[in-house]
Amino acid sequence: QSVLTQPPSASGTPGQRVTISCSGGSSNIGSNTVNWYQQLPGTAPKLLIYSNYRRPSGVPDRFSGSKSGTSASLAISGLQSEDEADYYCAAWDDSLNGYVFGTGTKVTVL
Amino acid sequence: QLVESGGALVKPGGSLRLSCAASGFTFSDFYMNWIRQAPGKGLEWVSYISSGSSYTNYADSVKGRFTISRDNAKKSLYLQMNSLRAEDTAVYYCARDRSGQVGDAFDIWGQGTMVTVSS
């Protein structure tokens, strides 16, 4: 069950900035860190952002994350064609004692 | 690296055991998880197990039907799936918790194994 809400789609032209929102509640985003995953077509998800804003080694600094209250956002600046993918937010949920994922956002590069 | 296996076509009510073989890191130091993705749908966390197998938990959708386990000597993670339903049809991924504690990010994912439940 998806407890975190994301817009189903987002788009932009090459070079533009795209932002994806992720809305949750007090038991998940409100009290735990947020992670973001990128899933390219036909592949396994890949960790993109962890602990709200940290990037794993190898992830371009075009990708940035932030969190405020019970919401978080992922920004992609300088959009490139290879950024066309599905993006998911996720967080630990204290009430469920488990992880919850966002509904997912498909990013299209026009 | 994580490599899943065991996915198959199974009839409703049937059972299946998935495996995930780890390499390249100290498997026994990390919490491990199963995550699934139904065709054309989003990601759903299924279960986690602590590094020493003391703690486990499951999504409500699989509680009482699925059992997660691990063998640290074999560097392997398992998911025993019983009483399978059509809605369990999905690609199943194993994934590692980044920091060695529960509640962190999934930093290593397998390629996934497909489970299809159909008569």
What's the pLDDT band for A53 if we cut at 50, 70, 90? very high
Q: What is the pLDDT of residues B33-59, one digit of tens each?
A: 999 999 999 999 999 999 999 999 999
Whether B1 has its CB under 8 Å from any CB of chain A: the answer is no
Among candidates B43, B57, B107 on the partner chain, residue whose Cβ is nearest the Cβ of A88 = B43
Tell if the CB–CB gap between B105 and A50 is shorter than 8 Å.
yes
Strands (E), A1-110: 9-12, 18-23, 34-39, 46-49, 63-68, 71-76, 85-93, 98-101, 105-109
CA pair distance A29, A65, nearest whole angstrom: 13
Instruction: Provide the pLDDT for residue B29.
Output: 95
- Statement: residue A1 has pLDDT above 90: no
CA pair distance A45, B94, nearest whole angstrom: 11
Contacts of A63 (CB under 8 A, 6+ apart): A36, A48, A49, A55, A74, A75, A76
- Statement: residue A2 has pLDDT above 90: no
Whether B109 has its CB under 8 Å from any CB of chain A: the answer is yes
Chain B, nearest residue to A92 by Cα: B103
